[in-house]
Amino acid sequence: MHSTSEVWFIAIIALAAGAAIGYLLHRYLHPEPRRNRELQQELHALQEQQKNYRYDVNAHFNRTSELLAQLANSYRDVHNHLAAGAQELCEPGSVRVLKPLPEHSQLLEEQHPSVIEPPRDYALKSSPYDKGVLDEDFGLEKNRRDPVIEPPRVF
């Protein structure tokens, strides 16, 4: 027969082997925690990439705005230079088109009213059954007794 120490040794080895096999089977059959970690890392990387992209887009449009403002200022300077040259070098009254532009143009401010109304691409009708502005009979009074006979069309 076997001694008790041998039985305990075999039992501990069998328990350790069973635990290792169980752990490996669990990892092989249920890989979700590892996959979840990978997905979370991928999601974090994509969020960081989107954040960087938004920053780049904002920086791009801010720089574009600055460049357009510089371009408008340069255009105004060239226009004013030509207007001053035309006034000095040409005969009085011969050049009427070139007038100096003001330093701070108010043209853009005048184009944007403080109250914005929607476009009026519709016609108000007193009832839904009335003919609208786009109807071919709108505003015309036709005699219903005498139909209009159209001549034949020649193609």
Q: Within a domain: residue 98? A: yes
Per-residue model confidence as pLDDT tens digits over 28-83 = 777 677 778 888 999 999 999 999 999 999 999 999 999 999 999 999 999 889 88
Residues 1, 46, single domain; the answer is: no
Joined together, the tokens standing for residue 113 give 């009213």
Examine the fold and report which residue of 103, 119, 136 is the final residue of a domain before the chain moves on.
Answer: 103
Q: Within a domain: residue 117? A: no
Q: Within a domain: residue 143? A: no
What's the structural domain count of the chain? 2
Please give the Cα distance from 77 to 96 (Å, whole number).
Answer: 18
Overall pTM > 0.75: no
Residue range(s) defining the domain that contains residue 58: 41-103
Residues 49, 96, single domain; the answer is: yes
Joined together, the tokens standing for residue 28 give 């092989």
Q: Give the three-state DSSP class for 145.
A: coil
Q: Within a domain: residue 72? A: yes
